[in-house]
Structure 1
Amino acid sequence: MHIVRWMRQSDILVQLHLPSLTQLKKMGGSEPRLVKAATEQLNKLPFYHSFWNRTTRPSLDLAQEILSMFTARKMGKVFFTNSGSEANDSQVKLVWYYNNALGRPDKKKFIARSKAYHGSTLISASLTGSLIYQHLLFCTLTALTTGDIIFLIAAFIAEPVMGAGGVIPPPKTYFDKVQAVVKKYDILFIADEVITAFGRLGTMFGCDYYNIKPDLVSLAKALSNAYVPIGATLVSPEISEVIHSQSNKLGSFAHGFTYSGHPVACAVAIEALKLYRERDIPGHVKQIAPKFQDGIRALADSPIIGEIRGLGMIMGTEFTNNKSPTDLFPAEWGVGAIFGEECQKRGMLVRVAGDAIMMSPTLIMTPGEVDELVSIYGEALRATEERVSDLKMKSEKN
């Protein structure tokens, strides 16, 4: 069996793909059991919708599989989407409907964290931790304890480890303190597990690592190992019961997508979840993550690295001048892009975001492959240091 951890470019250069296709593929790119699951379902029932109380066996089975795997707290229902953006979009609508059902129509605002990213639909993008969005759905956590704003806040949303915002793992007790505050003020907790679910941190879910007991959970990406688009919204029994009991009065929760619970996507996802368990992917991550984390952190003394952050098999590097978090390189230098280019020259792809880079390798890497990753990172870093030095000299001459 040949499992692809590498991407071929122009049939010449084989590249180690560290963004893991944006955190999607946990088990590589050529898993025959997933291909077989898709093929068999295509031959059996290629599509049927999930409207008007209809569904398919794969959709039902996948919902049960997810509910049995998620043990941070008991969840009651699963709503399928096609992506993480759609899952978080659905979360907002669910929360609004839930508060309408409880007679609290003004309780509609959301708390998201600075630098947060939760999707690209209009609603999920409104949860983005960017200044241009803050007038829409944002307030600060300290605002919970002052004024009437507390009665308007419906939910708090967070990734266990912030991904696109720069790979920012919080202290182990961070979410304990957050949960105490939101519980006190009857604010729902939404865990965006789109990146962290299925082993990335060395636990099956990020909620397991941080002892988060959410009211709602968003899944996507690795749910099918990225073989087919699928996402999911997990809903606690308390919320689902309120929505169900009040639907006769308010009307049904009329929200869905044409391809929600697509039978082929669900069949592949079922097989992916089986593989995660059978191969103990979280256990494997616990074995290889120290080599990954320690290997990269050993290079933190570089004069162009401001900070290295990471946990499990996800890592971020922020490039700054003189190792100062406030002394940034001129944007036009493109230091992050330079590092990405140097990595690519050596056969490795990383995700570049300004002067920060993100690495989230496939979770089936061998220790030898981790060593190779660290070696390429080091070579690319030294080449980047030389190019930055040249840029500084040119800048000083001007």
Structure 2
Amino acid sequence: MGNNSWEARADEYSLYGFTDLPSVHERGAVVVTHGEGPYVFDTKGRKYLDSNSGLWNMVAGFDHPGLIKAAQDQYARFPGYHAFFGRMSDQTVLLSEKLVEVSPFDRGRVFYTNSGSEANDTMVKILWFLHQAEGKPQKRKILTRQNAYHGVTAVSASMTGKPYNSVFGLPLPGFLHLSCPHYWRNGKPGETEEQFTARMAAELEATIIKEGADTIAGFFAEPVMGAGGVIPPSKGYFQAVAPILKKYGIPFIADEVICGFGRTGNTWGSQTYDFMPDAIISSKNITAGFFPMGAVILGPELADRVQAASEAIEEFPHGFTASGHPVGCAIALKAIDVVMNEGLADNVVRLAPRLEAGLAEIAKNPNIGELRGVGYMWALEAVADRATKTPFASTLSVSERIANTCTDLGLICRPLGQSVVLCPPFILTEGQMDEMFEKLDKALKKVFAEVA
């Protein structure tokens, strides 16, 4: 890299997040300039099929004209405002109506943030505020699961059940991580999937009893664990845990930041897995990646209780300068319309079986231990030995090597632990899907030949 190259300048002035630094120091950053459909282009003119949809969110591709026009029109009409002091834009009102309309709730209330992390953080504060107002100040503990990802603020990182947060001295006290419901990896020898699910449910109830239901503020769960490596729940998992939470009066929050708005084949992942949460956390697909936005969607019971708590002190003392931003809301209204009414959600339903079948063919490789996923979110887990599920040595950085090889071939995918994740844009065509299969298969075979 020349001293004035884009790569060198990125390395000199940027602090990389969630990046394998030895890899980027060796190879250099990929600095992208623009996108067309599901493709992005770098400063050297190289073209990449982005099978990660940016970061799960660019579901309509990188140059959708309707979304661009929605942004341009709103910037020209009213480029910015807040949602404080009883004032908000008309677009904010319209989006709140639309989000409740498309939610599984018959009524509710919406609060806006700038990201999924902030939305989860806000939901925790809402629960703490609610319980404090109802005379239960001790009701503060938050239950999540190991390997879950809920964000990067101090609170949402405490909810995230990933070991890397220990470098920040997290989690904060009172954030408890239950077992990850990944049957393939965590099931005991001879244990059926139904027995595994029963064990997960029993662990939840035992934890509630041990900690005291009167100390637990809420339970958060992604319908499918996204950044944990695309881990669907074990069979019947949510049907087993939901009654336990209801029994002990613990609010059930669905973190739909990744799953929401079509990724699993339904509008909500909670619909795919047939459970009714008390609130939904949304982000990413809500604007198809064209604007940073998150939303807390409260179902009717929590909405009423939070409203009563706010009335008692004459306000809800929380908010962000740009939450409910009129441009973001205008884009979100268009994005929801694009996904739900312009064929994108239908495309996921139509082509998801083809995506699964193509990946299943690739997964016949003896160094793939598990193919898992649903809809348009899948992961292939690499193993040194399929029969024993033995992973490769971490020093080999197998998933990083696979992702780098894919990049060299013009395909962007995401390494997560020992897995390679694919979550393509909803606009992906059959021909582009075949391109993804071909390049991924070639990369896997090359890397496994080097390390196996």
- Give TM class, smaller chain: over 0.9
Question: Does residue 378 of the first structure (1) align with residue 416 of the second (2)?
Answer: no
Question: Does residue 300 of the first structure (1) align with residue 379 of the second (2)?
Answer: no
Relative to the length of structure 2, the TM-score reads 0.82
Q: Distance in 1 between matches of 2:377 and 2:264?
A: 8
Question: Does residue 80 of the first structure (1) align with residue 143 of the second (2)?
Answer: no
Q: Distance in 2 between matches of 1:147 and 1:226?
A: 42
Aligned to 1:229: 292
Q: Distance in 1 between matches of 2:403 and 2:36?
A: 25
Find the residue that maps to 2:321 and give its secondary structure. coil
Q: Distance in 2 between matches of 1:17 and 1:314?
A: 13
Task: Tell me the CA shift for residue 245 of structure 1.
Answer: 1.9
Aligned to 2:232: 169
Correspondence for 1:208 among 255, 268, 271: 271
Aligned to 2:305: 242
Distance change >3 Å, CA 35–CA 111, structure 1 → 2: same
Distance change >3 Å, CA 37–CA 145, structure 1 → 2: closer
Deviations along 1:141-168, one digit per CA (max 9) or x if unpaired, are: 1434534522211211011110000100
Relative to the length of structure 1, the TM-score reads 0.93
Q: Distance in 2 between matches of 1:69 and 1:310?
A: 24
Question: Does residue 366 of the first structure (1) align with residue 398 of the second (2)?
Answer: no
Find the residue that maps to 1:162 and give its secondary structure. coil
Find the residue that maps to 1:88 and give its secondary structure. helix
Please provide the CA RMSD for this pair: 1.7
Aligned to 1:184: 247
Question: Does residue 7 of the first structure (1) align with residue 40 of the second (2)?
Answer: yes
Aligned to 2:154: 122
Distance change >3 Å, CA 35–CA 259, structure 1 → 2: same
Correspondence for 2:345 among 282, 285, 290: 282
Question: Does residue 55 of the first structure (1) align with residue 93 of the second (2)?
Answer: no
Q: Distance in 2 between matches of 1:324 and 1:261?
A: 51
Task: Tell me the CA shift for residue 172 of structure 1.
Answer: 4.9
Correspondence for 2:412 among 349, 352, 364: 349
Find the residue that maps to 2:427 and give its secondary structure. coil
Correspondence for 2:282 among 190, 205, 219: 219
Distance change >3 Å, CA 148–CA 307, structure 1 → 2: closer
Aligned residues: 387
Distance change >3 Å, CA 325–CA 217, structure 1 → 2: farther
Task: Tell me the CA shift for residue 331 of structure 1.
Answer: 1.4
Correspondence for 1:103 among 129, 135, 152: 135
Question: Does residue 253 of the first structure (1) align with residue 316 of the second (2)?
Answer: yes
Contact 1:316–1:357 (8 Å) recurs in 2: yes
Task: Tell me the CA shift for residue 326 of structure 1.
Answer: 5.1
Contact 1:182–1:189 (8 Å) recurs in 2: yes
Task: Tell me the CA shift for residue 242 of structure 1.
Answer: 1.7
Q: Distance in 2 between matches of 1:324 and 1:378?
A: 21
Contact 1:19–1:350 (8 Å) recurs in 2: yes
Q: Distance in 2 between matches of 1:139 and 1:40?
A: 45
Task: Tell me the CA shift for residue 90 of structure 1.
Answer: 0.4
Task: Tell me the CA shift for residue 353 of structure 1.
Answer: 2.2
Deviations along 1:329-366, one digit per CA (max 9) or x if unpaired, are: 22111111111122112110111123221110001111
Q: Distance in 2 between matches of 1:36 and 1:381?
A: 40
User: Where do 1:154-165 residues align within 5 Å?
Assistant: 154-165=217-228
Aligned to 1:138: 176
Q: Distance in 1 between matches of 2:367 and 2:122?
A: 41
User: Percent of counterpart pairs with the same letter?
Assistant: 35
Contact 1:160–1:169 (8 Å) recurs in 2: yes
Provide structure 2 residue ranges, at least 5 long, that are not aligned to the other structure.
Answer: 1-34, 179-203
Contact 2:146–2:177 (8 Å) recurs in 1: no
Aligned to 1:69: 102
Find the residue that maps to 2:385 and give its secondary structure. helix
Contact 1:224–1:230 (8 Å) recurs in 2: yes
Find the residue that maps to 1:233 and give its secondary structure. strand
Question: Does residue 90 of the first structure (1) align with residue 125 of the second (2)?
Answer: no
